[in-house]
Each structure stands twice: as C-alpha cells, then as structure tokens.
Amino acid sequence: MAEPNHARRFTILWVVASLIATPLVIVLLGPILPPGNGSAQASGHVTDNTVLLAMATPVLLLVVLYLIYAVIVFRQPKGGALEGPAVRGDQRLQTWWIVVTSLLVLSLAAYGTVRLEQDGAGSGGGPSPVAVPGGKKLQVQVIAQQWEFTYRFPEYGGVEVPHLELPVDQMVELHVTSLDVIHSFWAYQLGVKADANPNVDNVVFVKPTHEQTFEVRCAELCGIWHGAMFDHGHVVSQAAFNAWIAQQQTEYAAATKSLPPYSKTYLPEPTRRAE
Amino acid sequence: MAKKVMGIGVAVIAAATLIALYVASWATSFPKTVAASSASTTAGVSTHLTLQTVAAVGPKYSPEHPDWVSYLVQSHGKWIHSTDFKVPASSDVQITVLQYDGDSGLRNPFLSEVQGTVGKTETVDGKTINAIDPEEASHTFAVPELGILVALPGVAEEAKNQCEFAPCTMAEAHRTITFTIHTGKKGRYHWQCFVPCAAGFLTGGGGPMQTLGYMDGFLDVV
C-alpha cells in the first residue's frame, strides 16, 4: 500500500482543528479571562489576553496534534525495524518556520506597543509617560511604606487616607511612589500594576467603568509583612465619592496639618537611626 | 565508585535534612503568647495590656540581639519578651505603653494621628491628645487590619536617668501612653511599628523591624 501524503493530511487536520478551536476559544474563554472588566484598562487586558490566546491556539494545536498524529500513525509495529529512516534538514520547512514564527512575534510586539501607547494599559509609565489620555483626570498619589499603602488627594487639600475610593467613569492619574523600599501597587480588578520606588514618581492611568470593590496588593516582596499589604478599594458614584472625600478631610484633619506640601516624591526624614 | 556515589548521596541527604530542620525551626519559632490581664469590677470585666518599649532589649531577654529595639509585655508583674498578645473579642482593652526609647520621627507624618481607638485619642503622660508631633514619634502600635494606629512619642534626648537596656524600671525616664481599643470579631491580626526605628540598618527597616518578636507581632482576639 502506498504511503499517504502525511504532510498534506496533517496540514488539513491542523487547519480544520484550528478553524474550529480558535473561534471557540475566543467566544467561550475570552469573556472569562483575567482581570475582568473593572476598568477601561482591565477590559483592554482581557482583549489582549484573548488576542494572545487566539494566536497561541493554532500553535498549541500544531504541537499537540502532531504529537498525537505521530504516536498513532508512526507507531512502530511489533517486530518492525528498530530504527526509522534518517531525517535530514528541510531548508524550505526551516525557512517557513523562521518566517512564520518571526512574523508572529513581531506582530505581537507591534500590537503590544500600539496598545501601550493608547493609555499606558494600566502599567506605570514613569514620571513622564509617553501615553497620556486626554480630558480631566483625578490625581491620586499612592504612597507605599512598610507595610501599608496610603493615598493622597492633592485636589482635596492634600488629604491622605488609609483606604482608596475612586469615582466611577472618571479617568484617574495615579502617582505611585514609596517612602522606603521597593513595593508594587497592584489593583487587580482595575488592571493596574505599577512599581512603587522611593524617590520615583511612577504615573499610571485608570478609568473605572462600574461601581465595584477591588483588591489592592503589594506585588513586590518587600519584607516580613509583605503579605499584609492587602486591602480592598471601592469604586463609587461621583456623589458618594464627594461625600466620602469630604468626610475623610474632616476625619484626618489633624494628620493633614502635619503633612509636608504635596510633592510627586518625598525624600523622607528621618534617617537619623538608619545607616 | 559505588562507595563514592554512596558517600555523596549521604552527604547530600544530610545537608538537605539540616537545611530543612533550620527552615522548619525558623518558620515555627513564634514568640510565646501572653494574655492580657482581666479584672472584675462593678462595671464588668476590664482587660488591661501593659507593654514596654526599649531602645535595647538587653542580653537577659535576647542574648543573640541584645542591642535591638523591642517591645516587652507584662504578665503577672513580670516583663516578658514577647509580641504575641491575647485579648478577648468584642471587649474594651485598655493598653498602657511605658515608652523608654528616644524619638526617631515618622517617615510618613500621616501616621501621627490616632486612629481606631475608643474616642480616637490617646493619653500621653496624663494629657489626652488626638495626634502627636511626627518628629517626636519613637514607635507606633498599629494594627492595620483593624484600623488601629497609635503613635508613641519618645523620651527627650536630654532626659536624665535614661534606661540603657531592658527591663527598664519606673524610676527611669519614660513616657506613659494609654489608650483603649474595642476588639471586634475573633481573629489573628498582625500589629507593627511604622517608625523606621531599627538603628544600624539600611533605611531603619531591617533587623528588629523584620523579625517577629521585636517590633511586630500578633494580636490574638479570642
């Protein structure tokens, strides 16, 4: 019996499987991919993850299907030859492999760059981010210290608070910094993650899209109580935010008097006990 | 050859066992839990916790780190080197801190305002206040998960008869800070000092600030 054209047969199998599986992955898995749709930036992450998964599906199928195909079709029969025929390099196949994988990687790099330049994609852009969304932005300073995040609102008398509340549908400009060691501000459901470094103003933009509770964590191992740098933040209506911030200004009036003028970073004293 | 392989194998197993024992011993070494004292009064049961902060814990309590800053807790009239305190749930607990250490200052002045205590105040040497000068802070007693934060002012640099190392006595220079917290539901909550008070460590945050039993511990609400 003539040997079938394995390359053709396998290619058809792979293309058909990819055409079926990729849309299924997009439709079924896409909506449940992390981090959810808590903000415009988080929704962007979901889209990006869906694109990556869709592009990875045919690659995964290529590898897995070939493995299964080889195990079934090329199984050594009982009493068969101990060694198969020698396999030599195939320049055409190798060229295609390099071209296709390079195109995949380069197109993903271009896609990622475009997405980052839209609004920073919820990541820290340093003190002078390349991508700055237009329109009115609420400034909030995120101050990390061992082992708690506190938040300062320069537009509200520079009041500092121990828990974070944000108004819905409002672009927020977070200025992330640290007073001691390296931390990382991670508001998971909002799709925000930015390094908090001492003496560095790391700017990140986020626009929460619905009222919700979100988790705040430190994502950089920062000492014995790193795990305790956990809190819940809230996205509330503009009216509720206005009431909350007014109440915070009253609650922390005594502390606000002690605070230094608002600054993008602080060179905190004292260091008189430290070396 | 077989003997050589066997020797290497035994050596590797022995080294792995020693490392595992060291890690297990480190991971399970918690300070002794000390219960707050309770007394029955006509108004009900009152609970008190008396603490002491010292610039150097001394060789009696910590032979390995005698010069580390530390908290101590009083139990039945004796000072114990522990930072794991047991208090009853849903109760008022009066805490007294005898503060023998000098000031270091708060890195974040926001933490100078009293938060989460009954009346949102603390009493320092008999005077009730709701915030201290951040520069005068020596330590804090803070339970972030419960929203409790009390900044503790330090002993003046020029004060006479300063305590060198623990246990310090009432005759030595100190500040007396009292406040009351209302404990809520049962749980194990971590507490810590927010002042970078670890002398000799980078940014004041190493050593006793990173080791359970000195400037941090647990509040066991039972």
SS3 A144: strand
A261 chain-B contacts, CB cut-off 8 A:
none
Kindly state the percentage of chain A with pLDDT values over 90.
74
Contact A216/A233 with Cβ under 8 angstroms? yes
Report d(CA B93, CA B98) in Å as an integer: 16
Query: Does the distance separating the beta carbons of A271 and B135 come in below 8 Å?
Result: no
Query: Does the distance separating the beta carbons of B210 and A223 come in below 8 Å?
Result: yes
3-state helix, strand, coil split of chain B in percent (to 5) is 20, 40, 40
Query: Does the distance separating the beta carbons of B108 and A150 come in below 8 Å?
Result: yes
Are B70 and B109 in the same domain?
Answer: yes
Are B78 and B162 in the same domain?
Answer: yes
Q: Helix H segments across chain B?
A: 2-27, 58-61
Question: In the 8-state DSSP scheme, what is residue A2?
Answer: P
Q: Is residue A85 pLDDT above 80, yes or no?
A: no
Query: How is A232-252 classified by DSSP, letter by letter?
Result: EEEEE-HHHHHHHHHHHHHHT
Range in A58-62, A102-106, B22-26 the model is least confident about: B22-26
Report d(CA A226, CA A207) in Å as an integer: 27
Q: Is residue A275 pLDDT above 50, yes or no?
A: no
Name the pairing type of β-strands B148-153 and B137-143.
antiparallel
Q: Is residue B77 pLDDT above 50, yes or no?
A: yes
pLDDT tens-digit readout, B102-128: 988 899 999 999 999 999 999 999 999
SS3 A216: strand
Report d(CA B70, CA B197) in Å as an integer: 10
- The CATH number of the domain holding residue B119 is 2.60.40.420
Is B150 within 8 Å of chain A by CB?
no
The per-residue pLDDT of chain A, averaged, comes to 91
**Number of domains making up chain B:** 2
Peptide bond preceding A162 in cis form (omega within 30 of 0)? no
Query: Does the distance separating the beta carbons of A225 and B190 come in below 8 Å?
Result: yes
Are B107 and B162 in the same domain?
Answer: yes
* CB atoms inside a 10 Å sphere around CB A7: 9
Mean pLDDT of B185-202: 90
Question: What pLDDT is recorded for position A105?
Answer: 92
Burial call B76-90: b when 16+ CB within 10 Å, e when fewer: eeebbbbbbbebbee
Are B142 and B76 in the same domain?
Answer: yes
Q: Is residue B34 pLDDT above 90, yes or no?
A: no
* CB atoms inside a 10 Å sphere around CB B114: 21
Question: What pLDDT is recorded for position B37?
Answer: 87
pLDDT tens-digit readout, A116-138: 888 778 889 999 998 899 899 99
Q: Which of A160, A224, A273 sits opposite B197 (nearest CB)?
A: A273
Report d(CA A257, CA B76) in Å as an integer: 41
Question: What pLDDT is recorded for position A1?
Answer: 65
pTM for this prediction: 0.86
Instruction: Report residue A235 as tokens.
Output: 């996205």
Are B166 and B96 in the same domain?
Answer: yes
pLDDT tens-digit readout, B145-168: 999 999 999 999 888 999 988 889
Are B53 and B127 in the same domain?
Answer: yes
Are B24 and B62 in the same domain?
Answer: no
> What CATH topology corresponds to A138-258?
Immunoglobulin-like (2.60.40)
Q: Which of B133, B199, B210 sits opposite A224 (nearest CB)?
A: B210
Band (A269; pLDDT cuts 50, 70, 90): low
Kindly state the percentage of chain A with pLDDT values over 70.
96
Question: What pLDDT is recorded for position B83?
Answer: 94
Question: In the 8-state DSSP scheme, what is residue B87?
Answer: E
Is B125 within 8 Å of chain A by CB?
no
Instruction: Report residue A185 as tokens.
Output: 């501000």
The residue segments making up the domain with residue B170 are: 32-221
Measured in angstroms, the CA of B130 and the nearest CA of chain A are apart by 8
Which residue in A has a C-alpha nearest to residue B210's C-alpha?
Answer: A224
Question: What pLDDT is recorded for position B43?
Answer: 66
Question: What pLDDT is recorded for position A189?
Answer: 96
Report d(CA B153, CA B167) in Å as an integer: 19
Domain extents for chain A? 6-74, 138-258
Range in A1-15, A176-190, B33-47 the model is least confident about: B33-47
Look-up of token digits 């005759």: B171
Query: How is B101-144 classified by DSSP, letter by letter?
Result: SB----SSGGGGB-BSSGGG-EEETTEEESB--GGGEEEEEEEG
Question: What pLDDT is recorded for position B23?
Answer: 85
